[in-house]
Amino acid sequence: MPEVGVAAKGPIKGLGRAVIFLGPPGAGKGTQARQIAQDYGVPHLSTGDMFRDHVSRGTALGLRAKPIMERGELVPDDLVLSMVEERISRPDCADGFILDGFPRTLPQAERLDEILQRRFQTRPLVVHFVVDPAQLMRRLTGRRTCAIGGEIYNVYDQPSKVPGRCDRDGGELIQRPDDREEVIAERLAAYERQTRPLVDYYRRQGVLQDVNGMAAPAAVTKSVLELLAQKR
Ligand code: AMP
C-alpha cells in the first residue's frame, strides 16, 4: 500500500485518498464519477450499481435489496457496509477511489471514517453537488442508461444522437425502475431524512467542498478536477 501522499507528488495516476461524491439523486454524481474516475485511473464505486448488479444476478443480497430499492428506500446499513468494506479492501483501491452514493447515513459515514483512518490515515475529500430541487425531478425522469456500458444520458438535456441508442456502443438505453415519479419522491425524501445530515457532518470536519451541480456536465467536471488538483 502506498504511503499517504505518495500518489499526490508527481504526474502519477491516483487520488491517494477516498473522494466522496455527495448529493441528492439526480445531482450528477454518477455522470461525474464515471468521467473523473477514468481521468484519474481509479475505481468508481457506486453502491447503487453494485446493488443493481446483485439484483440482476439474483444473489441473496440482490433478493433482499430489490424490494427496498423498488420502494425508493435505503438498504440497511449492515448490508451496504459489508459490501463496501469488501470492495475497498481490494488492491485496485490502494491509490484512492471515488465513492458515488455512499455513505448515505450517519452510521455509514462513521464506519467509513474508521476504515479510511486505518487504510489511508486520512480523512476523505467530500465533493457536495448542489442542485436546485426543481431540476432533480427533470433529471431523474429524463435519465436513461446504456444497458451495455452504463453511459448516462438525459432525454431532455443530454440526449443520445439516435433516440434510445448509446452513442458509444449502440446499446439500448433503458430507464431505471426507480426513476419513475412515485419512487423518485420517496428517494428524494430518503435523501432529506437520512443523507442530508452528512453535509453538516463533513462540513464540521472541514473536508466538504460545494460544487455548483446546475452547470453543464463538462463545466461541472472542470470544477471538480480543479478542486481535486487544489486538494492534492
Ligand atoms: P443510486 O443508484 O445511488 O441512486 O442507488 C439506488 C438505490 O440503491 C437506492 O435508492 C437505495 O435503495 C440503494 N442504495 C444505494 N446506495 C446505498 C447506500 N449507501 N445505503 C443504502 N442504500 C443504498
Residue found by looking up cell 467509513 in the block = 112
What is the per-residue pLDDT across 174-207, written as a single tens digit (0 to 9) for each? Answer: 999 999 999 999 999 999 999 999 999 999 999 9
pLDDT per residue over 137-158, tens digit each? 999 999 999 999 999 999 998 9
Is residue 187 part of the annotated active site? The answer reads yes
pLDDT of residue 231: 81
pLDDT beyond 50 at 5: no
Q: Which of the residues 104, 111, 139, 144 is marked catalytic? A: 104
The set of cell numbers assigned to 173 is: 438505453
Which residues have C-beta atoms less than 6 Å from ligand 1?
Answer: 25, 47-48, 51, 68-69, 72-75, 80, 101-104, 108, 178, 187
pLDDT at 14: 83
C-beta atoms surrounding 67 within 10 Å? 9
Q: How far is the CA of 8 from the centre of ligand 1 (A)?
A: 31
Q: What is the pLDDT of residue 122?
A: 86
Instruction: Name 231's Cβ contacts closer than 8 Å, sequence gap at least 6.
Output: 125, 209
- The mean predicted confidence, pLDDT, of the chain is 92
Q: Give pLDDT, residue 121.
A: 85
Clarify whether 29 is annotated catalytic: yes
62-96 pLDDT, tens digit each: 999 999 999 999 999 999 999 999 999 999 999 99
Does the domain formed by 18-42+95-231 have CATH 3.40.50.300?
yes
Residues 6+ away with beta carbon under 8 Å from 137: 26, 181, 184, 188
Mapping DSSP to helix (H, G, I), strand (E, B) and coil, where does residue 128 land? strand
Top-confidence residue, 217 or 10: 217
pLDDT for the residue 6: 38
Which of 17, 29, 52, 111 is an active site residue?
29
By three-state DSSP, how is residue 143 classified? strand
Torsion of CA 47, 49, 55, 58, to 10 degrees: -100
Across residues 19-32, what is the average pLDDT?
Answer: 96
What is the rounded radius of gyration, in angstroms, for the C-alpha atoms of the chain?
17
**Cell 446493488 belongs to residue:** 51
Range 125-133 average pLDDT: 96
Phi-psi region for residue 109, left (φ > 0), alpha (ψ -120 to 50) or beta?
A: alpha
Taking the model in full, what pTM does it have? 0.91
- Does residue 134 register a pLDDT over 90? no
CA of 12 to the centre of ligand 1 (A): 32
- Tens of pLDDT, residue by residue over 48-58, are 999 999 999 99
